[in-house]
Amino acid sequence: MITLKEALSLDKGEIKELRKDLLKKIEEKKELGAYVEQLNGNELSISGEGIPIAIKDNIQVKNWNVTCASNILQGYVAPYDAGVIENLKSAGLSPFGRTNMDEFAMGSSTETSYYGKTKNPFNPNCVPGGSSGGSAAAVGGGVAIVALGSDTGGSIRQPAAFCGCVGMKPTYGRVSRYGLSAFSSSLDQIGPFAQNVEDAALLYDIISGYDKRDSTSANIEYKPVAPNLNSDRKFTIAVIENYLEEASDEVRKKLEESIEALKKAGHKIIYKKRLNTKYDVATYYIIATAEASANLSRYDGVRYGNRAQANNLKELYAKTRGEGFGDEVKRRILLGTFVLSSGYYDAYYIKAQKARHLIKDEFEEIFKEADLIYAPVTPKTAFEFGSIKDPLEMYLEDIYTIAVNLAGLPGISVPVGFDDKGLPIGAQFIAKAFDEQTLFDGALALEKILK
C-alpha cells in the first residue's frame, strides 16, 4: 500500500487511479468488515477527488449517513462537515468510506456494532480491538492508506496494537471535537491511524489546530510536527514497571526486548511504578459513563434517526431507546445515570474527579525526571471473538490506556513484534501535554531501531 507521504506528491490523474485501485482492494477484502460503507468511485460529488482516507462512523461528513454503528441513528444524514474533515479537504485529502466501530464507541472489540463484527487482518477468528476497530483493520489490512478514529479510553491505541499499525491519541484540546459524536466529552479525541510513524505525524498535522466552534479546543500556538521529525534525539524514558509485571509473558518479553534496543541506541531508561491500575479503571468508568448518560440523552426519537411507533411522548422515548440502543450502550447509560443520581453523586462522581486529579499529578511527577513514558498498550494480544463475556473483564482490556485520557496526555502505539501465533504486539509512548514533537520523535526512533 502506498504511504500518505507518497500519496501527497501524486497528481490528479494518479489520485484517480489510486482511488480505483483502493476500491478494488476493498472489494477483494470485503470479508474483513473494516468498512460499513464504501463510496462508489463515480460519486465524486460526495467523495471528492482527493487522496482517499477512511473515516470512523462517528465523525460528521456532509451528506453521508453517520450512525455511530447504532440502530438508533439509521437514516441520519450529516448536514455538515466536522472540523477535521474540513482540514482534510483543505489539504487535498478526501473522506472515502465509513469504518466500523463499537456502537457509540463503547467497546474494546468492535463486537457491539449494529453492522456486525470487523475481523482482525492477522487472524479472522480474533477481534481487531475497539472501538475504532474498523479504522485499525482497514490500515492494518491494507485497505486504507490512513484513517481517522477517536480515542476515549484507548480506542485508537488498542486496536492499532491489535492490528499491527501506528495509532495516535493527541493531547486533549489539540484536535477539534466539532462534528465528533460525543461519548465522553472530557475524554474524547480524534486521532490518526497510519502505516508508519511519519504518516501518522503528517495526518496529525493536517487535523490539528484551534477551532472556535469547539469550546474545549486549545487556543495555543501550533507548530507542525512532521517537518521537524528527528529520530536522533536522545531521551530519558520512564518504563512503568507494574504495567510490565501485569502483562502476559509474550507482551512483556517483546517490551523488554524493545527497552534493551532503546538502551543500546543511547536512550536513558528509568523505572517507575504507578498506582494500581484498578483505580484508573474505576475512575474512568464512572466519569465516562456519567458523561455518556448526559450526551446520549439527545437520542430520543424526535430529532435524529430512528423513531419508534408510540402513543405518547414517554412511550416514544422508551421504545425508541429500547429498540435503538444495543446492550452495551444501555449498560453504560444505566451506570452513568446511577452515579449521577441523588445520593450517589458525591460518593461516586465527585470521588472519581478527585481520583482523576491524583492520576494527572502522578504523571506530572514522573515527567519531572523523564521526557517520555514507555508502556504496553494491552495486557495481551488480540483475543478470539466471544471469548470475553464478562463486561468487567472487557473493561480491563483498557487498563494501560485509560489513564492517558484521564490526564489529557498524548500517546502513540507503535508495533514492536508478534506473539507465537503471529498476532501483533504494540507498545506506547506517552508525552507531556502538547509535546507531540517529543512523542513522535520517540516513536520514530523506536520504529527505526526495530526495523
Instruction: Cite the active site residues.
Output: 56, 131, 155
Q: C-alpha cell of 109?
A: 472489540
Q: How many CB atoms lie within 10 A of CB 304?
A: 17
d(CA 288, CA 443): 28
Give the type of residue at 1.
M
Q: Are 309 and 88 in contact (CB under 8 A)?
A: no
d(CA 95, CA 89): 8
Q: Are 427 and 413 in contact (CB under 8 A)?
A: yes
Helices (H), 269-408: 277-295, 313-324, 327-340, 351-366, 391-395, 402-407
Q: How many CB atoms lie within 10 A of CB 263?
A: 12
Q: How many secondary structure helices (H) and strands (E) does the chain include? A: 16, 11
Q: C-alpha cell of 81?
A: 462537515
Is the peptide bond preceding residue 108 cis, with omega within 30 degrees of 0? Answer: no
d(CA 297, CA 292): 8
Give the type of residue at 451.
K
The closest alpha carbon to 426, from 406, 410, 447, belongs to 447
Interior angle at CA 339, CA 334 and CA 345, nearest 5: 150
Interior angle at CA 299, CA 297 and CA 300, nearest 5: 90
d(CA 133, CA 272): 31
Which are the contacts of 169, defined by CB distance < 8 A and separation ≥ 6? 151, 154, 156, 157, 189, 191, 404, 405, 410, 411, 412
DSSP letters, 113-177, are: -TT-PPPBTTBTTB---SSSHHHHHHHHTTS-SSEEEEESSSTTHHHHHHHTSEEEEPPTTTB--
Regarding beta strands 236-240 and 268-272, do their DSSP bridges make them parallel or antiparallel, or are they unpaired? parallel
Q: Quick check: helix, strand or coil at residue 74?
A: coil
Give the type of residue at 88.
L
The closest alpha carbon to 5, from 222, 151, 177, 192, belongs to 192
